[in-house]
Amino acid sequence: MIFIALRYLLERKKQTVLTLLGVFFGTMAYVGVSGFFVGFQGFMVQQLVNNAAQVHVEARKDYLTEHVLDGPFFGKDWLHAFWVSPPAGVEGFQEIQNPSQWYQRLAADPRVEAYVPQLSAPALFTLGRNSVGTTIMGCDPKKQARVTTIADYMIAGKFTDIAVGGNRIVMGDELMKRLGAAMSQTVMATVGVNPVPVPFKVVGRFYSGSRGLDLQAFAAISDIQRTNLTPNQVNEIGVRLKNYQDADTMARTWAMSSPERVESWGDQNANILSVFAIQTALRFSMIVTILVVAGFGIYNILNMTVNQKRQDIAILRALGYDAFDVIMLFFSQGMIVGVIGGACGLACGYLLCAYLQTIPFMVATPSNPQGHLHIALNFKIFAQAAFMAIFSAALASILPARAASKLTPIDIIRIGG
């Protein structure tokens, strides 16, 4: 039947080409749009999982709610407590309670690639008349460089120089610009609870492209512990995993067995991930709409063809072709259009993505030196596009094909076709 189906398609070239173009553009659009969105999302996820720890452990601090102290004060014999001045504040810990237990657990876990103990404190940097309030992170630079990609973002100096000794600091590019600082200059830092400003020498400068990160500063953990008047204190541990997709599961597991707050990179960026989810839903609905319209094109053409070919159907049934053969005659026409249109759409979609990758689109950053669009060219996108093209063609074809198979030759012959 494919032989006759091909003849039908070739006989009305214009209609066939127009219908094919519908599937072609729909498929190409899916590959291009998905490549763009998935590529962008992948780029953003890489930024999220590389710029900061994939699992973040920090000393728990909970905001006190109005009724959090009802039980401790009144035991079980109370219905409702009305507070004249309800309790307020933050309860929790200033540091991780048993860091050495954490270190043992993380060192023993085969899923953990690296971890870094950190002391994070608010800091006020002053240089001349300029002051900037930000966060200073105390860490072991070698361990920090294994957990995040901060060392790759250095544009002056070396990240490990902070461990040389003597209050050395590496600053983000944005922080240095706001302070008006330069390499090898000394800035005054008021760190945490210590009201006395302490000099720090700038030995490095980094630029990540992320404004929040570029406003931060890093120093040796021992320097920050001393400056903050909290010797040996660790209030955060950053963890890098061998597979970042395990982060959610591992964060939940660790949170259940420790007093600390344990969050995955996904928890910390839930708003960004929800935007991605919306993008994905929009992408699917847009492309499905395009392919549904293309499918309607196939449906209309085949419906017209069935009406025009009633005499052919009658004679084929008289010559021994049964209902299934008639279904295949029309179904295969739709599928030929769907497969060819889909295949051409995939090929041109690939070329479109390859071209998009060469377009300069954003400011060059260390993680994206060329400043080009990140386009995803993965098999899953192509497989989805091919499936949707074929599925929409199949669905659009089967209905007219079944209608054609229900026509009886005698009815057509009696009324003269």
Partner 1 sequence: MSIVAEHIGKAFGNPPVRILSDISLTIPDGDFVSLTGRSGAGKSSLLYVLSSLDSPTEGRVLIEGVDITQMSSKQLHATRNVKIGFVFQFHYLIAELTVLENVLVPALKLHQEVSRRPRAENLIAKFGLSDKMNRYPRQLSGGEMQRVAIARALIMQPKYLFADEPTGALDTINGEAVMSILQECNTKDGTTVIMVTHDPDFAKMAKRQIRMADGRIISDG
Q: Is the CB of 79 or the CB of 319 nearer to partner 1?
A: 319
**Using CA atoms, how far apart are residues 181 and 189, in angstroms rounded to an integer?**
13
**Using CA atoms, how far apart are residues 22 and 388, in angstroms rounded to an integer?**
13
Q: Is the CB of 12 or the CB of 177 nearer to partner 1?
A: 12
Site residues, partner 1 (CB under 8 A): 3-4, 7-8, 10-11, 311-312, 314-323, 325, 409-410, 413, 416-417
Work out how close the CB of 311 gets to partner 1 at its nearest, in angstroms, rounded to a whole number.
Answer: 5
Work out how close the CB of 331 gets to partner 1 at its nearest, in angstroms, rounded to a whole number.
Answer: 17
Work out how close the CB of 402 gets to partner 1 at its nearest, in angstroms, rounded to a whole number.
Answer: 15
Q: Is the CB of 147 or the CB of 327 nearer to partner 1?
A: 327
Q: Is the CB of 308 or the CB of 370 nearer to partner 1?
A: 308
Q: Is the CB of 168 or the CB of 309 nearer to partner 1?
A: 309
Work out how close the CB of 7 gets to partner 1 at its nearest, in angstroms, rounded to a whole number.
Answer: 4
Q: Which residue has the tokens 């949707």?
A: 388
Work out how close the CB of 342 gets to partner 1 at its nearest, in angstroms, rounded to a whole number.
Answer: 24
Q: Is the CB of 10 or the CB of 79 nearer to partner 1?
A: 10
Work out how close the CB of 413 gets to partner 1 at its nearest, in angstroms, rounded to a whole number.
Answer: 7
Q: Can you read off the two tokens belonging to residue 181?
A: 């600082």
What is the SS3 assignment for the chain? Answer: CHHHHHHHHHHCHHHHHHHHHHHHHHHHHHHHHHHHHHHHHHHHHHHHHHHCCCEEEECCEEECCCCCCHHHHHCCCCCCCCCCCCCCCEEECCCCCCHHHHHHHHHHCCCEEEEEEEEEEEEEEEECCEEEEEEEEEECHHHHHHHCCHHHHEEECCHHHHHCCCCEEEEEHHHHHHHCCCCCCEEEEEECCCCCCEEEEEEEEECCCCHHHHCCEEEEHHHHHHHCCCCCCCCEEEEEECCHHHHHHHHHHHHHCCCCEEEEHHHHCHHHHHHHHHHHHHHHHHHHHHHHHHHHHHHHHHHHHHHHCHHHHHHHHHCCCCHHHHHHHHHHHHHHHHHHHHHHHHHHHHHHHHHHCCCECCCCECCECCCECCCCCCHHHHHHHHHHHHHHHHHHHHHHHHHHHCCCHHHHHHCCC
Q: Is the CB of 19 or the CB of 51 nearer to partner 1?
A: 19
Q: Can you read off the two tokens belonging to residue 55?
A: 């699992």
**Surface-to-core class of residue 129, CB atoms within 10 Å of its CB (0-12 exposed, 13-18 middle, 19+ buried):** exposed
Work out how close the CB of 341 gets to partner 1 at its nearest, in angstroms, rounded to a whole number.
Answer: 21
Q: Is the CB of 318 or the CB of 351 nearer to partner 1?
A: 318
Work out how close the CB of 323 gets to partner 1 at its nearest, in angstroms, rounded to a whole number.
Answer: 7
Work out how close the CB of 319 gets to partner 1 at its nearest, in angstroms, rounded to a whole number.
Answer: 5
Work out how close the CB of 19 gets to partner 1 at its nearest, in angstroms, rounded to a whole number.
Answer: 17
Q: Is the CB of 333 or the CB of 392 nearer to partner 1?
A: 333
198-206/61-63 β-pairing: unpaired
Q: Is the CB of 71 or the CB of 417 nearer to partner 1?
A: 417
